[in-house]
Amino acid sequence: MSTTLAHAGLPSGVTRFDLLRLFEQVARPGFGLSSTAVVLVRHYVLKTMDADYLNGRICAVWTQACRFAEALGLTPRSINSAERELESAGFIIRNAGINGGRAGDRQEGIITWAAGINLAPLIGRYVELKGKAEALDLQARAISQCRAEIRQLGQRIRDAHDDALRHRAESILPAGRTARIPSITRLTAIREALSAMLDAIASAPAEPSRALKTSDAPEENCAPNIQDKNSSRRCSATADPIDRVSPAAAVSVATEGYQGLVAALGGPTWPNLIEASYRSCGRLGIAQGTWGRACQQFGRERAALCVLLIDRNVELPGDHRYKARSPSRCLSGMMRNERSQGFNLTGLFRAGQHDQDLAEREGRKAPAVELHLSAEDTGNGALGLFTNTLLTRLGVQFEGGAA
């Protein structure tokens, strides 16, 4: 049976590839379609022409299912199953001829008739698909915000140093992880339950306030496990206090690209610096696991400062002696050196800011600093960022010498 099913066309300015991208975005999360069905629709769209999506035209393909199967590396049965799935979901019409035969005719670039797969339903649902995509985006934003609030509540529970409160929190959210909870309803219930627990201690005498070290950075890399005050994490007695460095001071010594990223996130705050460093890890080739371990060892703020420094050093000229050629190994080296004897990271930032301000007032460029890491840690170069005089003044030097 052939057909002349026409359609009303796509909105002005919308192309067939815009329609395809929108469909691929919402097909699985919004309609539960299989990956085979999504791939098949892409193949359909690629076999059509732009003119087929104009008002009053026929948009169809009549290639046999066995040919589709051969092109996609699938079986004809898989193709037939995916086509039934798409027809049931209301995205195509199957109107093949006798014994499933498919045929059609295109004259001067315009389909005059076709017996096969008609895409008129898909084209007609463009507005619906767009609405579904917007709804999914709002849901994703709500989930992200709810997870951030849960992380902040978890931090407040840890700061309370109350074992009973901690055990109750762990019963609500084991290990403090929300990454594997996709339901906004479930996340909201967890948030409300943790918030109610904190209300129970609101009337208790308040301890001296201090800044909460929280972040909106994705927790997949450093899950906020709710733990007691006797954490097994190593805390050095000589660790440098993070509150001695302001976010604005840290950003002032960053690269222009890093500064632009922080500005796009809303300005220099610790959560924004942590998020900027997390995003920079992907660009620098620092694995998520390495970033997570740095967060666990240093704390998120100090880990963010380490990435900021590495990012700056990566942009040194290619023949520069202290160019960081392996950012991931640089961060790993920082962790190893900190475990062995520690280093004054925040002091370095304060002195670096001072020297940079002085250089700007004098109209000169601040020279580079040589922080000694081993060649194994840096990957063909030591980490250098500010001035050699900082090392003398701060006494910051790692064993192993420059590579």
**386 & 248 share domain:** yes
208 or 59: which leads in pLDDT: 59
Contacts of 95 (CB under 8 A, 6+ apart): 1, 2, 3, 5, 115, 116, 118
The conformation of residue 206, written as its DSSP 8-state character, comes to P
pLDDT digits (tens, 9 = 90+) for 301-348: 888 888 888 888 777 776 666 676 788 888 888 888 777 766 556 555
Reported as type and span, the H/E element at residue 117 is: strand 117-118
* In-domain check, residue 330: yes
Least trusted range by pLDDT, from 39-43, 130-134, 336-340, 346-350: 346-350
The structural domain count of the chain equals 3
Q: Are residues 273 and 321 in the same domain?
A: yes
- One domain for residues 45 and 171: no
Same domain for 269 and 352? yes
Contact 390, 369 (CB under 8 A): yes
Cβ atoms of residues 311 and 255 within 8 Å: yes
If asked whether residues 269 and 167 sit together in one domain, one would say: no
147-176 pLDDT, tens digit each: 888 888 888 887 777 777 778 887 787 666
CB distance 401 to 322 below 8 Å: no
4 within domain boundaries: no
Report residue 155 as tokens. 């931090």
Pairing of strands 103-107, 110-115: antiparallel
Cα separation, 5 vs 118, in Å, equals: 8
In a domain, 246, yes or no: yes
Structural domain boundaries enclosing 94: 16-124
Q: Is residue 218 situated within a structural domain?
A: no
